[in-house]
Amino acid sequence: MARLEVKNLCFKRYGREIINNFSFIFESGKIYVINGSSGVGKTTLLNLLAMRCRPTSGDIFLNSDNFSTLSRQEVKEYRCRKVAYIAQDFDLIPEITIEENCALSLLIQGVKRKEAIKHSEKVLRKWLNEEVIGGGNINKISGGQKQRLSIARAFSFSSEFIIGDEPSSNIDNKNCIKLVKELIDKRNNGTCVILSSHDQRLLNIADELISL
């Protein structure tokens, strides 16, 4: 059972306070949706929760362990294995194929290439049309297809946390319904789902709303 506790979190960028004294407890088996106007700091907060950047001050506890006391290896384990992240800008690598991008989390976890690609292929087919798979280049797919690829990558392994930064911003209604269903299933299986969104369809499934 995962638990992420954030205490008095502050984050400054170029001297400007973006996150100011934010405290919260995120627990497994719940969906949290963060909303707030553009530029308020949603992406910054999600990056902090995923340990993609460090707070200026304040503490983040994973279960009872303070992140500031974890070793570099333990933080890497958290980022790679415990958190599945759907980035607002998709975080795809143009130099590698669509399949490799989908398998990237598994590859970073150390799974052998062939096995990682085979394992992630099923979920990739669920999210992308067959015609754009097959050694395809991510420069040749649309914004919505890139977002679906990023979603497929996040769902290609079992994680304790799913962090999604406006994960429905580029996809159509049919795919959004699919995403909602998948997130509810994950939540019901004990995953802690933390999203940022303005999308009413995602706001509707929130167990807790966080307004920044």
Ligand X SMILES: Nc1ncnc2c1ncn2[C@@H]1O[C@H](COP(=O)(O)OP(=O)(O)OP(=O)(O)O)[C@@H](O)[C@H]1O
Task: Give the x-and-dash track for 60-99 against Mg ion (CB under 5 A).
Answer: ----------------------------x-----------
Of 103 and 163, the one with the shorter C-beta distance to ligand X is 163
d(CA 172, CA 107): 29
Q: Residue 90's closest CA among 155, 153, 147, 170?
A: 147
State the DSSP code for 38.
Answer: T
Helix (H) or strand (E) holding 59: strand 57-62
Q: Does 35 bind ligand X (CB under 6 A)?
A: no
Q: Does 40 bind ligand X (CB under 6 A)?
A: yes
Of 39 and 135, the one with the shorter C-beta distance to ligand X is 39
Q: Does 211 bind ligand X (CB under 6 A)?
A: no
Instruction: For residue 38, count CB atoms less than 10 angstroms from its CB and return exposed for 0-12, middle for 13-18, buried for 19 or more.
Output: exposed
Tokens representing residue 181 in the block = 């269903």
Q: Does 18 bind ligand X (CB under 6 A)?
A: yes
Of 34 and 152, the one with the shorter C-beta distance to Mg ion is 34
Q: Does 43 bind ligand X (CB under 6 A)?
A: yes
Q: Dihedrals φ, ψ of 69, to 5°?
A: -100, -5
Counting residues that bind ligand X (by CB under 6 A) gives: 11
Counting residues that bind Mg ion (by CB under 5 A) gives: 3
CB of 45 to ligand X, least distance (A): 7
Alpha carbon 117 to its chain centroid, in Å, reads 20
Binding site for ligand X (CB under 6 A): 13, 18, 36, 38-44, 88
